Chains A and B, each alone.
Chain A
Amino acid sequence: MSYIQAENLIKQYGAGEAAVTAVGGMSFRIKMGEFVAVMGESGSGKSTLLTMMGALNTPTSGEYSVDGLEVYELGQDQRADFRREFLGFVFQSFHLVTYLTVLENVMLPLVTVKTNGRTKRAMAEDALSRVGLDGKAHRLPGQISGGEQERVAIARAIVNEPPILLADEPSGNLDTKTSREVMDLLRSLNEDGMTIVMVTHSPECAGYARRLLRISDGLLVEDIPINGSAINLECWSSGVME
C-alpha cells in the first residue's frame, strides 16, 4: 500500500529568540486514494503544511515521504520533477497566468514534459473537457467567471494525471453554487482514484472529504474519519474555527 507519510514535521521561520514555529511537529499517514480535509484557524499552519507536502517548503526537521520516496532528500531539480509527476496544485484565488489562454494555462505542467505538442494539446483539451470547459479553451482568464477560473485551475492540476492533488481553499473565492460544483468535481476525481488533500475553512467543503485533519497552533489536534456530509458547525463551538 502506498502512503503519504509525515513524521514529526517541524517548520520554523527565523532563528533564535525571534523564531516562529508554523508547524510544530506533525505526524500522519495518508493512504493513496484518500480525500483528506485540513481545517484550522488562520495562522494555524495549514498552508505551511500544504507547501511542505507539495515539496515547495523544506521543513526545519522531520521526515516526509510519498510512496516511500523521501521528498526532502531530493535535490532541487528532482523536487521539481517530483512536483510535476506526483502533484497537482489548486491554489486559492485560482492563480492562473493572466497572459496565457485557458488552454495554455492548462498546458503549463506539460511544458517541461518531453512529449510532442499535439499530444500535450490533446491532454489539455481532455482535462478541460473533464471540468466542463470545452468551449473556452482560447479565452484569457480575465474573460471567464470565477467558477470557470477555478475549473481551469483544477484542469491544470490534473492535466498530467498526478496521483495527488493538493488544494488550498479551492472554494475560497466562489459563491455557494459554484463551490458545490467545484467540490463535486474534486469528489469525482477522488472517486477516480486521485488522492486529494484540501485545506479549507468551509465545513461544508470539508464534508466532501472522507477524513479530517484538524490543526491548531501548528499541531495536529484531531484526525477523524468523516462520513461525507457537511461538518456540523457545532463541532467547532470550542472557538477553534474563525
Chain B
Amino acid sequence: MTLKDIALRNLRRRKAKASFVLAGLLIAVSTAVALLGLIEAMNRDIQQKLEEYGANILIVPRTENLTLTYGGLSLGGVSFEMEEIRQADLVRVKAIKNAANVAAMGPTVLGAVKVKDHKVLLAGVDFQATKILKPWWQVAGTAPSDFGVLLGSEAARILALKTGDHFKVSGSNLEVSGVLVATGSQDDQLVFTRLDTAQSLLKKEGLVSMVEVAALCNACPIEEMVRQISVALPDTKVMAIQQVVQTRMETLDYFRKFSYGVTAVLVLVGSLVVLVTMMGSVRERTSEIGIFRAMGFRRSHVIRIVLLEAGIMSALAGVLGYLVGFGSTKVALPLLTGGNGMVVTFDPVLAAGAFVTAIIMGLASSVYPALLAARIDPTDALRTL
C-alpha cells in the first residue's frame, strides 16, 4: 500500500471525474498533435515542391561591369571581359554549415561558338544536377554523352539541326543527341553539352561561368544560405531567387502561427477543465483527506496523492492524445488536401512533446487543487464525517 495505490484506487472509484480530466487533456493534446502533424506534413510537401521548383540560388563571378541586357534584349556587338569561377573552389560550398540543405549544385560554363555561320552560346552543364535544377526540361532524344549536345528549341530551329545530326565546333565533331521542348526561357536559345566538353571547346578548363544551386532550407532563411555561400566563395556574387520560396514560407509561417494560437487556446481550456475537475474532486474528498491527516499523512503526502492522480491521467492522455491526433491527421490529410500525396509519419519528437506537454498541463493545473487539499484543516475535514 503506497500513495500511488491510493491515487489509483481513487481514480478507479471516481471514473466520471477521471474521464473528464482525461477528456480535457486528450482533446488539447490530440488537437495540438493533429495541427502540428499537419504542419509537418505541409513542411515536407513544401520541401518536395521546392525541389521541383529547381534552383533558388545563383553564384556568378564578381564583376565591376553592368549587365547590358534588359527585358530579354541584349545590346549586340557590345562585349565586356567576363571573369570566371574556379571549379575547384566549389567544394567549399559542401563545407558550409547548412551544406545538408544543398540539394543540387549545377556549375555552368558559357561561351560563344560558331555553328554553321551562326554565333551561338554554348553552355557546358552537369546533366545529373540539371535534372534537379531544371525539372521542367523535357528532351526529345537523350541526354548527351561525350561530344554530344542538347539543342534549345530555338537554336535547333535556327541552326536547322535535329536529333542525330552532326556539326563541327572548333574542329570537334559534335552530335545532336536531343532537342529541348520549348521552355519559354533563354534555354531555348542555347546549345548544351557536358561541362568538361564545353570547357575543352571553350579553352576554359577548370573554370565555370556561373553556378545554380537548389537549396532546401525551409527552417532557415534563404538569406542565411546566401551568406554562408558568400563567405565560402568570397570572389563571387551570390544571389537568391527568393520569390517562390518566400511566398511558400510565409504561407506556412502564417499557418504555423495560427496552429500555435489554436493549440495555446486548447491547452488553456484543457488546463482549466483539469483545474475545475480536480478542485471538485478535492472538495468531495475533504473528509477522506481529514482521515489521511489524522493517520499521520503530512501535507506533502496529500499533495503527492493529488499530483499522482493528475500525473497518471496526464500520462495516459499524452499517449492517447498522440495516437488520436496522429490517427486524425492520417485520416483528415487526404480529405483536406484532395489526396495530393502529403503523408504524415510517426514523429518521435512530436510524440515525446505531446507526452511531456500533457504531463506539464495536468500537473500545473493540479498544483492549486493539491495545495488546497493540503491546506484543508483536518478538524474541519473530520467534522464533515
A-side residues, CB < 8 A to B, are 51, 54, 56-57, 76-77, 80-81, 83-85, 87, 89, 91-93, 95, 97-100, 104, 107-112, 117, 120-121, 156
Contact = CB atoms under 8 A, between A and B. Distances in A.
Contact of A83 (B5, B295, B299, B379): B295
B12 interface: yes
Interface in B1-22: 1-3, 5-6, 9-10, 12-13
Contacts of B6: 100, 111
A31 B2 CA distance: 35
**Majority-rule SS of B interface residues:** helix
Contact of B3 (A81, A100, A109, A111): A111
A162 to B, nearest CB: 9
Contacts of B301: 80, 111-112
Contacts of A120: 1
Interface stretch (B83-91, B105-113, B123-131, B285-293): B285-293
Contact of B379 (A57, A80, A81, A84): A57
22 contacts: A57-B379, A76-B299, A77-B299, A77-B300, A80-B298, A81-B298, A83-B295, A84-B296, A89-B294, A89-B295, A95-B291, A99-B9, A99-B10, A104-B9, A109-B295, A109-B296, A111-B3, A111-B297, A111-B301, A112-B301, A117-B2, A156-B295
A147 B281 CA distance: 30
B382 interface: yes
A93 B5 CA distance: 25
A51 B1 contact: no
Interface size class, chain B:
20 to 34
A1 to B, nearest CB: 26
Contact of A112 (B9, B13, B296): B296
Nearest to B11: A99
Given A80-B298, A81-B296, A93-B385, 8 more contacts: A57-B378, A76-B298, A80-B293, A84-B295, A92-B385, A99-B9, A109-B296, A111-B2
A183 B304 CA distance: 37
Contacts of B9: 99-100, 104
Contacts of B378: 51, 56-57
A91 B382 contact: yes
Nearest to A82: B296
A234 to B, nearest CB: 33
Nearest to B378: A56
Contacts of B3: 111-112
Contacts of B382: 51, 56, 91, 95
A77 B298 contact: yes
Contacts of A111: 1-3, 6, 295, 297, 301
